[in-house]
Amino acid sequence: MDLQLMAALSNADAIASNEGEVRTILRDYLKPVDLKVQTDGLGSLIFTKRTVKPAFSVMIYGHMDEVGYMVRTITPEGLLRLMVVGGVKPLASHWQSVRVTTVSGKKLPGMVIRDESLAAFDQILCDVGANSAAEVAALGITIGDMVTFSTDFTEYAADGVFGGKALDDRLGCYVGARLLQELAKDELPFTLRFAATSSEEVGIRGAKTATQLIQPDLAFIVDVATFQNPRERSEVNQRQVGSGPILTHFDRTLAPNRTLQQFVKETAATASLPLQLDMFNGGGTDGGEAHKVGVGIPTVVTILPCRYGHCAQSLAQAQDVDQMVALYAAMCRRLTVATAEKARSF
């Protein structure tokens, strides 16, 4: 695993509609690869692998944005009132280190606190060490500034385990970037694209606009998921870190294409790669909007397992990530016109 790339992606700060740092990392990393690069109107970044005679098109998705906060108001005492952007877990807003990014790009440390004596709308505050609104202004902080967790990417002592913020879904961004690098010299029978999408955490927005722009024939989603009880290690938990990628069968926003599901299963078996099988009563991914574009796009969702999500830090396993890249490389190398046509035949 390229831990340098993963660390850069995890440490980057990017809430919805403010994903410039991640775009820069991906552009720089993939610059040596012969790719067409474009954006949609929301800021989703789309890389296209050039193909001589493509018979159909495939797009792989991973979203750039993370959960976090935005400065809503500044109190006379110099505290920042924050608005949650995305589904930050309530307990994650207690006594955590955060980072404010100003309009000029200046990075300022702070601590997010929750005052439950206040109305719910006013409970989340950030202390940057100031004692007045004037001091906050002098620091360059303004309404609308981005606030993110400031957790540093860390390699754990346990073999292959790493932790960091924003693994949802910088892991998907990592997989897309590494896949394009892995397939750089392959001649595929289809056009392959990777969409690093904007604003998934606030309503799956970038996936919709990127899909409207590209109109792919097939859509493959890479996202992450956690199990509610991280201590559960029985067969009930099909999101176990260290047990390989996950194929989902259902979530609140998508019932995946059955042909593509079977294709993923067959490819994993052929390549001797582990595959956990799961489904979700709630939740959703970029697939929830991608599959509804136009007359409908066959879509399937693959997931990387993590422990702890939508908080200051998640844990993941390098082997799982490498296996996801290997799974997608194997799928791209065995995907045919016949499979694409079967996915659209009912």
Q: Which residue is associated with the tokens 């599901």?
A: 261
From 19, 21, 66, 200, active-site residue: 200
Q: Quickly list H helices, the chain.
A: 3-11, 20-30, 133-138, 167-182, 205-214, 258-270, 287-290, 318-334, 337-343
The CATH architecture that domain 68-149 belongs to is Beta Barrel (2.40)
Write down the pTM of the prediction: 0.96
What pLDDT shows up at residue 119?
72
What pLDDT shows up at residue 235?
81
Which residues lie closer than 8 Å to 67 by C-beta, 6 or more apart? 15, 84, 85, 86, 87, 88, 168, 201, 310
Phi, psi dihedrals of residue 20, rounded to the nearest 5°? -60, -35
223 assigned binding-site residue? yes
Of the pLDDT bands very low, low, confident and very high (cuts 50, 70, 90), residue 113 is very high
CB neighbour class for 309 (10 Å; exposed up to 12, middle 13-18, buried from 19): middle
Which regions of the chain carry the CATH code 2.40.30.40?
68-149
310 assigned binding-site residue? yes
Query: Is 200 among the catalytic positions?
Result: yes
249 assigned binding-site residue? no
Phi, psi dihedrals of residue 47, rounded to the nearest 5°? -105, 135
What pLDDT shows up at residue 219?
99
- What is the rounded radius of gyration, in angstroms, for the C-alpha atoms of the chain? 20
Of the pLDDT bands very low, low, confident and very high (cuts 50, 70, 90), residue 118 is confident
Of the pLDDT bands very low, low, confident and very high (cuts 50, 70, 90), residue 115 is confident
How confident is the model over 248-291, as pLDDT tens digits? 999 999 999 999 999 999 999 999 999 999 999 888 999 999 99
Q: Looking at the predicted structure, is the pLDDT value of residue 240 above 80?
A: yes
Contact at 8 Å (CB) between 174 and 7?
Answer: no
How confident is the model over 166-180, as pLDDT tens digits? 999 999 999 999 999
Which regions of the chain carry the CATH code 3.40.630.10?
3-66+165-343
What pLDDT shows up at residue 89?
93
182 assigned binding-site residue? no
The CATH architecture that domain 3-66+165-343 belongs to is 3-Layer(aba) Sandwich (3.40)
- Report whether the peptide linkage leading into residue 169 is cis, meaning its omega lies within 30 degrees of zero: yes
The CA-CA-CA angle for residues 201, 204, 205, to 5°, reads: 110
Q: Which residue is associated with the tokens 């296996």?
A: 323
Rounded Cα gap, residues 34 and 50, in angstroms: 7
Q: Looking at the predicted structure, is the pLDDT value of residue 323 above 90?
A: yes
Q: For 79-103, what is the mean pLDDT? A: 95
